[in-house]
Amino acid sequence: MKNKNFAIAYNPNIERASSVRLKLEYILKNYGVEYEVLDIDGLKSGYDFVFVIGGDGTILKTARFYSKTETPVFGVNLGRLGFLSQSSETDIEKSVKKIMEGDFVVENRIMLSYENSIALNDFVIKGSATGRTSRFTLKINNKPVCDYLADGIIISTPTGSTAYGLSAGGPVLFPSLNAFVVVPICPHTLAARPLVIPDNEIISISSCSKQKTYVISADGQEYFQTSSDIVISKSKYTAKLALLDNADFYSILRDKLHWGISPAHIK
């Protein structure tokens, strides 16, 4: 890895990001590798490997950008959960050592596509009338599935199943599954339940009432308004997440979400 071209992407608005960036720069200099520092709002291509310093939002934005150049990204967590990150500030030196020794794997995470936008976690569709429920018609492969009266609908990847979809009552999917999840947000019926479907299905959302304007968010970072039917499908791009060889999804559930731990043992 020492002959590769590296970048450090970071969010200067996050507390401690600049100090961690300087620490990472010092470590990389000791390995004698070439690198460039990038602001999260000034990402550019041309690298073989990208370190990302920040929370999950920073990693999501970086992973979407570099999915189009198939560049692996490695997250150093400064946020609350850091579900997509592989290293903490205290472990950064050990993590860089593993990466320089090639002791890591790159996972291809499926993504969603809507028009010219892509999402690694999810697309969220809501009505434009703030604070009001909306009526949605869900079709899969152009076949009617159901109508929802709800605050919105989440279309999630396995990676995003531990994000908004989980908070809305959706299931946790193993990251490598080839599936998507459709989760209604606060539906006004007990019969509306999350739906897991194969990732080659075409999902369409349309209005079943007079209200025809929707707000769509991609990973909670990019927002669009539309009055047309919404068609979401699997993206041709995949996010490349660099994971250390000891990464284990189930241990992440325990460590990050306190999965299966008695409340008395959560500090």
Catalytic residues, by residue number, are 56
Crossing angle (nearest 10°) for helices 92-100 and 17-31: 40
